[in-house]
Chain A
Amino acid sequence: MWLVEYYAEPSSGREPVAEWLDSLDKHAGAHILDKIVRLHQNGLVLLNTSMMKPIKGHGSGNFYELRCGKYRILLLHDFTKGKFILLHGFKKERQRESKQIETAYLRLREYQSRR
Chain B
Amino acid sequence: MNRTFEDDLRVKLRDPEFAKMFGAAQAKSNFALTLARARERLGLTQKELADKAEVSQAYIAKLEGGEANPTLERIGTLLAVAGLSLITDTTTLFPTLLTSADWVFDFSASAPRGRTSVANVTEEIEATVPA
B36 is contacted by which of A1, A30, A35, A49 (Cβ under 8 Å)? A49
Closest A-chain residue to B27, C-beta based? A34
Interface SS of B by simple majority: helix
Closest B-chain residue to A27, C-beta based? B21
> How many interface contacts (CB-CB < 8 Å) are there between A and B?
84
Across the interface, which residues of B come within 8 angstroms of A51, CB to CB? 29, 32, 64-66
How long is the Cα–Cα vector from A67 to B67 in the complex, in angstroms? Answer: 10
Across the interface, which residues of B come within 8 angstroms of A48, CB to CB? 36-37, 40
Q: Is B9 an interface position by the 8 A CB rule?
A: yes
Contact A42 B33, beta carbon cutoff 8 Å: yes
A interface residues, how many (CB within 8 angstroms): 32
Instruction: Tell me the B residues contacting A by CB distance below 8 Å.
Output: 2-5, 8-9, 12, 15, 17-18, 21-22, 24-26, 29, 32-33, 36-37, 40, 61-62, 64-67, 94, 96
A-B contact pairs, 28 of them (CB 8 A): A6-B2, A6-B4, A18-B3, A18-B8, A26-B18, A30-B21, A30-B22, A30-B25, A31-B25, A33-B8, A34-B25, A34-B26, A35-B29, A37-B5, A37-B26, A38-B29, A38-B66, A40-B5, A42-B33, A49-B32, A50-B32, A50-B36, A50-B62, A50-B64, A50-B65, A50-B66, A51-B29, A68-B66
